[in-house]
Amino acid sequence: MAEIYQEEEIYLSEVDSTKEVILDVETILIVDDDAVNRTLLKAMLKKEGFTPILAKNGEEAVSKFESEHPQMILMDVQMPVMNGFEATKIIKEKFKDEFIPIIFLTGVTDESELARCLDYGGDDFLTKPYNNMILRSKINALSRLRRVQLELTEKNQKLANHQEQLYQEQQIAKKVYQNIVHAGTLNSPYISYNISPSAIFNGDMLLAASTPTGNLNVLLGDFTGHGLPATIGTMPVSDIFYSMTRNGCSIPDIISEVNIKLNRILPTGLFFAVCAYEIDVADQVMKVFCAGIPDAIIVNSSCGKITHIKANNLPLGILPDKSYSPKFQKFKLQSGDRIYSYSDGLVECFNPEGDQYGEERLDKAISDVIWEENRVKAILEDLDKFRGDAEQYDDMTLLEVDVDLLFKHTEVRKSEEDDRSTKPAGAWDFSLHLSAESLKNNDPLPLFMNILMEVQGLYDHREKIFTVLSELYSNSMDHGLLELDSALKQTPDGFMEYYTLREERLAKLEDHSICVEFINTPVDADSGELMIRIKDSGIGFDVNQKQKELSQNINKSGRGIKLVETFCKSLSYNEDGTQVEAVYSWGPVEEED
């Protein structure tokens, strides 16, 4: 009988014309093998302002849904070819990321059958014969639910996009951070360490580098908190540490400079706990600075004696330079000594029972592994065994310096250095012309220092000569050729911008050069004068710029020229500032007490 009905529009006068405007649902798919039912539902939906799409069975419903993509489905249960349950399952699986409300159309009122409709993925059901008011109410209710689902999906997607963007930015920042806070000499055979951050960014930092004299500078620090906020200060600290160590500065000078910088840039409540020390390889003496950090430890592998180095300073960044008086402790190192330093995250970690690892357990762990080959690894295994499944809440860093290996590492070089004292002074000169390609790919300072240190008399002045040479060369390169402004380095962001610009401009450098010339003139058998002349093809240095005295300049920039002047007999520039000439007087150096 259903076949004799023509599918044409039927407007039922009894249908309520009052309707709710629903923007999220415009098209509705009607799936029913009965033409009369399709026609009635079509008329009801058109009267309510919806656009109906018709399908005779489940298979056709799947096809129509894929092509038309309606926002809601009225699905009959019993149909030939493919019933409503099977069609619903296919549609729900194919479009599982989108909420498509499905109202099952059924002629049964059995509770188990109605429950079955919901079990197969239906969101509601409508029993025959159809009531227009009930149909409209169900459509409106599901439309509101769909709207909420769409808004939630959109917000989740925005959140996911934001998280992905944040992750990518963190990875980029992490890479920049790793490039700035580089390993230095941490990969040397006499150093073993482990850094275990509790987040992508690390509030702990570990730096090690050798001075031109061969002394070892080490800094283990811990900023308040962890993660990105705790990482902000690591960039200026790293820059100060490496640049000053490279220039031959001692740990007291570095600590003073770091405190000045951090006091200026860190917000209230953020400070820097640190254990820093320098090891004078020649005298086998360690000078230590400890502030707000767990004890450093010296362990002698021969007798097992453990010496704790207590923190006796306020953390850095709290007090201004004039109010801060750092205290340093000295220790004579012996054969068999090993130096351990660590952040508080290591000894303050907890096990599942709430017990703290503590310094006593660490002392025992160090004693137990004293003859192990990889002692840092063994100590961390003991820590992991104690902690079990407990969560890591803070960054953890552990460092070991093997004194015997350090002295052995510099032993050959020391014997070579001692031989230099027997060489007679002589007159000599050499120069080197560096093209743009050479400047991009080579750092000439180590080459210059190696040559200069072969000269009798100059070796005892290596720190000052290196400072003079590196400052003058950096001025020619950074300011003359690359046209960089040192004032950028006043802020952490400025540090990053300065070195980013330096890399970019150096990579693009063309048709420029630097010429370095050395002339050594003996005065007598034990003394002489070393002239260093550097000329660049750039814009030159502003020779008329007034330089502050060192005692009055607490900035990170503008100190180099005045420092060079204190070391040299004379310092002069040509008129346009493209050439500098420094004369350094050398002779026997009196030993300090």
CATH number at residue 355: 3.60.40.10
Structural domain for 481, as ranges: 421-586
Do the Cβ atoms of 41 and 130 come closer than 8 Å?
Answer: yes
Among candidate residues 411, 441, 475, the one where a domain is terminated = 411
Query: For residues 489 and 277, which has the higher predicted lDDT (pLDDT)?
Result: 277
My answer on whether 406 and 439 are in the same domain is no
Q: Are residues 230 and 378 in the same domain?
A: yes
Could you tell me if 82 and 193 lie in one domain? no
CATH number at residue 97: 3.40.50.2300
Q: Grade residue 16 by pLDDT with cuts at 50, 70 and 90.
A: very low
pLDDT score, position 110: 67
Shared-domain flag, residues 580 and 544: yes
Same domain for 476 and 550?
yes
Structural contact between residues 201 and 232, judged by C-beta atoms closer than 8 angstroms = no
> What per-residue confidence (pLDDT) applies to 550?
47
State which of 411, 435, 461 marks the end of a domain. 411
Q: How many angstroms separate the most distant Cα atoms in the chain?
A: 128
- Is the same domain home to 450 and 376? no
Range with the poorest average pLDDT among 126-135, 166-175, 267-276: 166-175
Structural domain includes residue 173: no
Assign 543 a pLDDT band (cuts: 50, 70, 90). low
Q: Does any domain span residue 176?
A: no
| 215 and 317 belong to one structural domain | yes
Residue 289 placed within a domain: yes
Band (pLDDT 50/70/90 cuts) for residue 559 is low
Average pLDDT of the residues in 499-517:
88
pLDDT of residue 337: 95
Tell me whether residue 461 is in a domain.
yes
Domain boundary among 390, 411, 432: 411
CATH number at residue 522: 3.30.565.10
Indicate whether 578 and 440 sit together in one domain. Answer: yes
Same domain, 402 and 347: yes
Name the pLDDT band for 54 (thresholds 50, 70, 90). very high
Rounded-to-integer distance, Cα 184 and Cα 207, Å: 7
Mean pLDDT to the nearest integer, 512-534 = 90
Segment of 150-164, 168-182, 282-296 carrying the highest mean pLDDT: 282-296
321 pLDDT band, cuts 50/70/90, is confident
Residue 177's pLDDT is: 56
pTM > 0.75: yes or no: no
pLDDT score at 366: 93
Same domain for 203 and 142, yes or no, is no
Are 55 and 191 within one domain?
no
pLDDT at 277: 96
- CB under 8 Å to 463, separation ≥6 — which residues? 211, 212, 213, 247, 248
| In-domain check, residue 416 | no
Residue percentage of the chain with pLDDT more than 90: 25
Number of domains in the chain: 3
Q: Is the model more confident about 9 or about 254? A: 254
DSSP strand pairing (124-127 vs 337-342): unpaired
pLDDT surpasses 60 at 201: no
Quickly state the pLDDT bin for 593 (edges 50, 70, 90): very low
Does the structure show a pLDDT above 60 at 415?
no
Q: What is the mean pLDDT of the chain?
A: 81
Examine the domain organization and report whether 105 and 188 are in the same domain. Answer: no
Q: Where are the beta strands (DSSP E) in 442-526?
A: 513-524
